[in-house]
Amino acid sequence: MIGGWVLKLVVAFGLLAIAAFEIGSPVIARVQLDDSVHQAADNSAQTFFQTRSADAAKATAQQVAQDKGIVMLDFSVDDQGSTHVRAEKKAHGIFFDRWKQTRRYYHIVETATGHYNNS
């Protein structure tokens, strides 16, 4: 009967959509976090080069983190003037972010180093 196979098709597509969301959410969050952390590191390196102030560079990194919706965990400037930013983001899931065994895939932490680029 037509009703039976339509229902099976709808259920199959629904399960496929849930699986795609569960797998895609951490991947997309990681890409977004990586981009944001690199932007924070690069912008703070630019600020440090201009001001020679680690506090001003950190404030720049914090502003980028806030604008991008990430949480900055750590910030430092090394002897060469490179900035190091570590930040986190939580990916959203339907089921897997609630299970202990898979929760770690939804809590994403990235580190980036920023260098002054005068070009």
Angstrom distances, CA of residue 111 to CA of 1, 52, 56: 56, 22, 19
pTM, two decimals, is 0.83
Using one digit for the tens of pLDDT, what is the confidence trace for 11-48? 899 999 988 998 899 999 999 999 999 999 999 999 99
Structural tokens at position 93? 């899931």
Between CA 15 and CA 23 the distance in angstroms is 12
| CB-CB contact of 70 with 89 (8 Å) | yes
Q: What is the Cα 7 distance to its own chain's centre?
A: 38
Domain boundaries, the chain: 2-114
Tell me, what's the pLDDT at 113?
97
Please say if the pLDDT value at position 1 is more than 70. no
Q: How confident is the model at residue 82 (pLDDT cuts 50, 70, 90)?
A: very high
- The two beta strands, 71-77 and 83-90, are antiparallel
